[in-house]
Amino acid sequence: MDLATIDRNLAQLRTTVAAMSTNLVDLENDAGRMRLDQSPLAGVTAQRWTDATASLALLWQWFSQISDTVDKATELRGTKSRLDPAPLSQLDWLVNGPSIELSKADVPLAQRGLFGPAESLIHCSPPELLGRMRAAFDQVVAVIAACNQNWSVADTRLHPVEDQLAEAGRLAADAGDAHRPELERARQQLDGWRRSAMCDPLATCDFPVDATSASLGAVCDDLRRLLQLRDNLTPRLDEARAMLSQLRTATAAAADARAEAVAKIAHPAVVEPSPVAAQEEVLGRVTALSAQGDWRAAANLLGQWTTRARDSLAEAQGALATNQAPIAARDELRGRLDAYRGKAYRLGLLEDPTVAGLYAQAKDVLFTAPTDLDEANQLVRRYQQALAGPSRREVAG
């Protein structure tokens, strides 16, 4: 081969070796390669990475050998414009011939002759070695790229569900319900999938996360509702305590009105108000459940209590009105009696014996306890009629 062709081939080798140096260093520092080295690999990935690691070790060995060969050829070539046949032949052998010893292999005894070697040597030319190196490099890069791709798929599938689990954990902790079994099941599933993705990314990474995601979504919704119940319980309890205070007041007033009516009215139509102790006891249980963090039970019991308390308050207010009615009726009759007496004064009948006698009877009944309302009503009506009779109008004339 002529010197010009050898020079071109040698220059190409130098360029190729320089590029290989950069690419091999980049491969050595690649994050995916380091992750594979640091991961406890298993299954298909472990086998393929073991093979790729062996290829990577050969790449560095071969790179050293081809670099040494290029350096020897460059030194032999020198800067002369021409070379003698012997150096030219040697240079041609270094650049284009089987100048690189790849490996030694033991020759089985049955295949040796008496004078045959115990080892066989494998040689190749720099171009042939470049082909081997390209195949080895592609093998290593293919494994790393496939693992990176599957790790990315796993992250795409798992990260959203892991975020859901973290959110559910925060909500559960806020709700004081951190030991929900759904969260533990999801955590175990995700941990298993994440370990599988880390240890054997070349196996399937398209994990069936939909059911787990749906379960976590339902848990988050339930926890948010529970926290809303908690947040609403304080104002609802304040309203319930205010209603209980109203119930106590109305019940006490109804009891007082009943006692007054019984004392001052004969045979009054009154009712006994229901006691509030039961309502107080139930509201106390609601408060205790809320303090224990059992907000769902507290909210349910509070809802039931509120319905019954409204009914009890309406009942107490009705009892109050009923029990106040007899005294109100007596006071109304007293007012009418006073009004009619004013009329008697205008008519000049205050001293009339009949009129005065009816007034005295009515007043005596109305201002004597217990008052007989039926009798008092009849007397007031007779007093009214006495003022409106014909003889009274003549006297007034």
- Residues 198-251 pLDDT 10s: 999 998 777 889 999 999 999 999 999 989 988 999 999 999 999 999 999 999
- Spell out the SS3 assignment of 36-80: HHHCCCCHHHHHHHHHHHHHHHHHHHHHHHHHHHHHHHHHHHCCC
Q: How far apart are CA 198 and CA 188, in angstroms?
A: 15
Between 326 and 203, the higher pLDDT residue: 326
Question: Is the pTM value of this prediction over 0.75?
Answer: no
Does the structure show a pLDDT above 70 at 91? yes
Stretch 257-265: mean pLDDT: 96
- Residues 32-80 pLDDT 10s: 999 999 999 999 999 999 999 999 998 999 999 999 999 999 999 888 8
Stretch 109-114: mean pLDDT: 49
Does the structure show a pLDDT above 60 at 392? no
Q: How far from 4 is each of 8, 82, 88, 125, CA to CA, in Å? A: 6, 10, 11, 19
What is the pLDDT confidence band of residue 394, given thresholds at 50, 70 and 90? very low
Torsion 94-98-100-106 (CA) sign: negative
368 Cβ contact list (under 8 Å, min separation 6): none
Which pLDDT score is estimated for 276?
A: 93
Percent of the chain with pLDDT over 90: 79
Q: How far apart are CA 208 and CA 212, in angstroms?
A: 8
